[in-house]
Structure 1
């Protein structure tokens, strides 16, 4: 099968798999134990944390990195944990309308807890409307969530500009950088908390991290032993941490090579998909995410017919629901237009021949649909 769903997950890097193996098979010590096996595991986790901090780039040194079970936990922790420590009068939580489900649903949970919530609209290109954001953000705003790179359409949000508006009113800024980590610069100077995930950068599933700016206080989400800096409980998996660290080390080593490869694949796909309409901004986007639509094409049927290729109609979290993507709806697309949209995600291990072969199959199946319309 040809894999073109890099936004859902990425292939595990062979180097990460090899780095993890000893910590699964023989080096099984609890990293929080005081004897030699525990100390060795703890030291290896510290090395992995350093690799991740290096890969995060400039500004990351202004905060601390805490391992989590994934980005969903990190987002929940950031939003739920920050609210109890907000200043008096900070009673509102805002998020961009196209945020990931883990942010959208957590924001709704905050409403149940008594906060006023609002979702900032985006323009037809998927970029947040900064003028309307400035109208919406006021002195009561306590926290704002802004995704750096959208998981469905690949657009890069102007986090720095939105943060400037938010901070002028004394609000905290949480950034979901899951799809941006390793691909575009993360504006740490404009963020108070940042979530990342290992399996979106060729690391293992089941581990992510929350970066918290020094001086920002948030409450624990999980209670227990406080193994991570006293504020996140649970025994860390050395294998998962080390796999994440190795994936991050490869990001640093291969950054330019990976970026050039993705650009070549993007150019190839755009050339082959002439006549298909791009969803989201053309200029302000990560090119490893190509979300396109074509008239008289049913995306769900296309996916079921082209079984030799793994691609999607949007977020893996919402697949199978039968509902149009909330991201595409936020762009103003009709239900029919949203249901005719497909997402192709490619990266480090995608070859040009694979992409060409996949596009042959997708285009042929789409043409069959059109001929019967």
Structure 2
């Protein structure tokens, strides 16, 4: 068996928490009922478990249970939010706004809609990944129906000001959707306080199972209509048909419960380890941090190492450290990160970049080993 390297790629996915797995197990074989089977106890027990999980997810983000729609993951939630809103509002307008640094699940959905007659504005960002308020305000038109911007960037950890952006969108008469995948479960998120209309989240980014996520859909007036993207059974109040993944949903609920309890202490510990990591790596000649020091997630660090052959650098580092150079879903290509190039980095520097994302299992010793590994690889390539 191939020995595993030190895992510092928690933005790609997290290991399932033992308590989450334990909570899920009975719903695979013992309580195997279909949550839509309303005529017997098998269905009742499954439905009760789903609704309990719905309440836990809602509590984590400050929502009401009826505002949570379960999906197969955040990519589906993003598609439901963007496509669903665009198609339901197309009589009002056809203009959509997003940022150049969004996740591909948002950008590719926007591109697909542009082929269906929608107009999309992709806003440029500043060197830290933030968007200028002036540029954002001027981008709205009378035909703008939706603005999409992620809460926390998956590559740099940058946090965007949700409240400020939500107020601008509301003032302009458009809906505001945020991809909350990297923020939910890592930092406090309150959909009421932030003013967002829609927000996606994923279980496997916060120590839950893969294959399940959710979409928050604000229920307060004015009513938000969403065109369903999956039809056939009327589940999830008709928003998302299909037999519910009861074990997965139970796991998401338990992961949300644990995150609610442990988030604060995890963030404090991980921010200290991240600072230790940065102190060690930024002393390397040519190293620079990407993003914002002031507004970011506590567990993420994105560092470029100028002058190195990016592909070779990553391959050598990955022998000892499980890290990435960008989003996990884009790592199969040899192209530089679109996030970093949008922030002004040249292609070579963007390729010679490492994203470190720490997690519950990360130790001080592992951080020390990571620093030593990167230093060693850097030295070997500089003197090659």
TM-score by length of structure 2 reads 0.93
Q: Is contact 2:310–2:348 with CA below 8 Å preserved after alignment?
A: no
Aligned residues: 370
The residue number in structure 1 matching 2:236 is: 228
Other-structure match for 2:312: 301
Looking at structure 1, the residues matched to 152 and 53 of structure 2 have their Cα atoms a distance apart, in angstroms, of 24
RMSD: 1.4
Which residue of structure 1 lines up, in the alignment, with residue 70 of structure 2? 67
Counterpart pick for 1:325 among 320, 328, 337: 337
- Call closer, same or farther: CA 1:50–1:345 in 2, change over 3 Å: same
Partner of 2:207: 202
| SS of residue matched to 2:64 | helix
- Per-residue CA shift, 1:266-324, capped at 9, x if unaligned? 12111211232001111111121110011222333223223121100000111121111
Indicate how the Cα distance of structure 1 residues 126 and 313 shifts in structure 2: closer, same or farther if over 3 A, else same: same
Unmatched runs of 5 consecutive residues or more in structure 2: none
SS of alignment partner, residue 229 of structure 1:
helix
Partner Cα separation in structure 1 for residue 66 and residue 305 of structure 2: 44
Aligned to 1:360: 372
Match of 2:261 among 253, 275, 284: 253
Larger mean Cα displacement after TM superposition, 29-38 or 142-151? 29-38
Number of the residue aligned with 2:13: 9
Cα 1:63/1:171, change in 2 over 3 Å: farther
Does residue 370 (structure 1) correspond to residue 373 (structure 2)? The answer is no
1:113-165 residue CA offsets vs partner (Å, 9 max, x unmatched): 11111111110011112211111112221101010000011100122222222
2:282/2:289 contact within 8 Å kept: no
Does structure 2 conserve the Cα–Cα contact (< 8 Å) formed by 1:300 and 1:313?
A: no
**Whole-Å separation in 2 of the counterparts to 1:187 and 1:121:** 27
Partner of 1:138: 141
Tell whether 2:184 aligns with 1:175.
no
Q: Does the 8 Å CA contact 1:146/1:175 hold for their aligned counterparts?
A: yes
Instruction: Assess if the C-alpha contact under 8 Å between 1:159 and 1:187 holds in 2.
Output: no
Change (3 A) 1:52 1:119: same
Contact residue 155 and residue 284 of structure 1 kept, 8 A: yes
Q: Which moved more, 1:181-190 or 1:355-364?
A: 181-190
Deviation of 1:258 (Å): 0.8
Deviation at 1:62, TM superposition (A): 8.9
Mean CA deviation greater in 266-275 or 116-125: 266-275
Moved more, 44-53 or 79-88: 79-88
CA contact (8 A) 2:20 2:255 kept: yes
SS of structure 1 residue aligned to 2:383: helix
Cα contact 1:278–1:290 (8 A) shared by 2: yes
